[in-house]
Structure 1
Amino acid sequence: MNNDTTTQHVSSTDTADVKTVTAAFTNIDAQAAASIKEMVNHYLHIKNALANDNAADAATAAKALENAIGKLDKSLLTAEQKTAYDANEAELSEHAEHIAKNADNIKHQRFHFIQLSEVIYLLVKNFGAGRPLYHDHCPMARDNQGAMWLSETKEINNPYFGAQMLKCGTVEEIIH
């Protein structure tokens, strides 16, 4: 194996040069913010389950995410916030549903986690998550096309490869 391929496996948790992003909306109703935080918490549960190669736990967390999506009272959002949320709600639900219904197929779950991560990323960039999150990237996911995910910790725990390559990835941004 040459050095070009091994450098892709290096994990970086040094955040000194990492871009910091602040949520777009700052005037979010407290109840709506709590609902969005609950969705993010379930997403993080899915991420951790996939990093631990636990498809059944990921399915349980995805079902909880589906329920949390249904609980958001959109009447608490401003018109601009509602537009931003509505643009992603259907896709959020679709990918959570696929992960929930495939407790026996972690490969399928991980495929939908790629899209779920992109939608949750947009949600967090708009509404925040009640805490800082790390935008991580694995260059080897999606057949070396790369994929991102959000994490509650600086430490890389790759949900796309689990134990096979748990530390593959880098921190790209910190979202406040």
Structure 2
Amino acid sequence: MIIRRFSGIILLAASLAACNQPQGADDAAGKAAAEQPLTAVTATLPAVYYDSLQVTMSAYYQLSAALVKADTMGADMAAAALKYHLDSLPVARTGLDSSRVAQLAGQASGISAELEGMLIDKNGLDGRRLAFQMVSDQLYDLLRVTPLKNTAIFRQYCPMAFDNRGAHWLSDKTEIVNPYFGDEMLHCGSVTDTLRF
């Protein structure tokens, strides 16, 4: 009995320690090689684009908050709003060249398609969280090339998500509130990148 309790304590301590470890350099290098992101837009984009991107991010944060609470109905509503705002993102009004506009539109369309899959498949909370991971990674790539002005976005990482494969998400705060575990491990994770513009 004492040995079983001691083993349980050791496993819990190891799990919590793993939550606070940043993503490994080898893992990050592998992801960086696999992803070939666009270069950042250096020109100032029109206010209408930034305003639309801000509304888009608000919908994303609502989706994250719903997943933290394990609220599938709230997650579906926020995902639908996020999809709507991504589909309405005025990429054509950025004043960029046509090839760049096509690339940005393709990125937004890819995120929207992932959200549509989330809304159609309805694979429970785990399925929604898996789709959220892909949305988060794609949205991070979009924000690296067309930043959100006068704000900071924190990329956060939980190494234990999805059977220790790990997963990122975005937040407007440095505080860790984990959408992949919710109350089970609410503060598991760390900030791995900050986008400041």
Aligned twin of 1:8 = 18
1:104 to partner: Cα distance: 7.2
Q: Which amino acid aligns with 1:151?
A: S
| CA RMSD between the two structures | 2.2
Point out the more displaced range, 110-119 or 66-75: 66-75
Aligned twin of 1:91 = 110
1:81 to partner: Cα distance: 4.4
Contact 1:59-1:101 at 8 Å conserved across structures:
no
Point out the more displaced range, 115-124 or 27-36: 27-36
Contact 2:156-2:189 at 8 Å conserved across structures:
yes
Contact 1:157-1:167 at 8 Å conserved across structures:
yes
What is the percent sequence identity of the aligned residues? 26
Of the three residues 117, 125, 128, the one matched with 2:136 is 117
Is 1:32 equivalent to 2:52 in the alignment?
no
CA distance in structure 2 between the partners assigned to 1:122 and 1:40 by the alignment: 13
Q: Which amino acid aligns with 1:51?
A: V
Of the three residues 165, 171, 176, the one matched with 1:156 is 176
Normalised TM-score (structure 1) = 0.84
Structure in which a larger fraction of residues adopt helix: 2
Cα deviations by residue, 1:133-172 (Å, 9 ceiling, x for unpaired): 1110000112211110000111100001111111100011
1:56 to partner: Cα distance: 0.9
Normalised TM-score (structure 2) = 0.76
1:102 to partner: Cα distance: 5.6
Aligned twin of 1:60 = 77
Q: CA distance change for structure 1 residues 46 and 11 in 2, over 3 Å: closer, same or farther?
A: farther
Aligned twin of 2:30 = none
1:63 to partner: Cα distance: 0.5
Higher RCO, Cα 8 Å, sep 6+: 1
Is 1:42 equivalent to 2:65 in the alignment?
no
CA distance in structure 1 between the partners assigned to 2:144 and 2:185 by the alignment: 27
SS of 1:25's partner is coil
Aligned twin of 1:143 = 163
Point out the more displaced range, 137-146 or 66-75: 66-75
1:100 to partner: Cα distance: 3.1
SS of 2:148's partner is coil
Cα deviations by residue, 1:40-74 (Å, 9 ceiling, x for unpaired): 11111101110111111111011111111222222
Gaps of 5+ in 1: 13-22
Gaps of 5+ in 2: 1-9, 23-38
SS of 1:168's partner is coil
Cα deviations by residue, 1:64-122 (Å, 9 ceiling, x for unpaired): 11111222222212126424413412321112223334667111100101100001101
Contact 1:125-1:175 at 8 Å conserved across structures:
yes
Q: CA distance change for structure 1 residues 111 and 168 in 2, over 3 Å: closer, same or farther?
A: same
Aligned twin of 1:19 = none
